[in-house]
Amino acid sequence: MIRLLFSWLLTLFAFAIGAQTVNAASCSPLLSQTFPRLQDEAPQSLCQYQGKVILAVNTASYCGFTSQYDGLEKVYAKYKDQGLVVLGFPSNDFGQQEPGSNKEIAEFCKNTYDVKFPMFAKSVVSGGNANPFFKMLIAKTGTTPKWNFYKYMIDRNGNVVNSYNSMTKPTSTTISNEIEKLLKEKAQ
């Protein structure tokens, strides 16, 4: 009986490891990254968003564009059930407009804009020390963030399809049309 139970557990374990290998293998190189979550710094794999349309944005709490948190949250709420995710990456790269700790940033986002979309720990998004995700976004588009609230659109297959400057509001027709078009496409 014990031998049978042990054999069953080994089979289950092997199946679970095989499933993890398949998941890792099907994740695009762009999303094969792990970052600490803003709220508690628990590691989060971006592979969990494979198959979704992604709007990635570098954020800051004390910027003239900070009110775009409201628009990002509205876009996320409108399209999340259809397969969109907004990913926020706080950064102090531009004008020193994100000086706070991760805890302070998380509290600001929750208390001021009731942000529910995934946010990651503060990191560098431009220059030679940019985090690996933003390095790849920059390499794929040839466009580096010029300021806070620069946006990148990624399709369900993990391919970067567009970038938008800080002046482009998340609720703009340009971004909404791109999201709706990409949501109609199936992941391959």
The catalytic residue positions are 63
Give the list of residues 6+ apart from residue 164 with CB closer than 8 angstroms, or none: 150, 151, 152, 153, 172, 174, 175
Tell me which H or E stretch contains 8.
helix 2-26
Cβ atoms 187, 154 nearer than 8 A:
no
Tell me which H or E stretch contains 22.
helix 2-26
Nearest one of 162, 165, 105 to 137, comparing CA atoms? 162
Residue 86, strand partner residues: 55
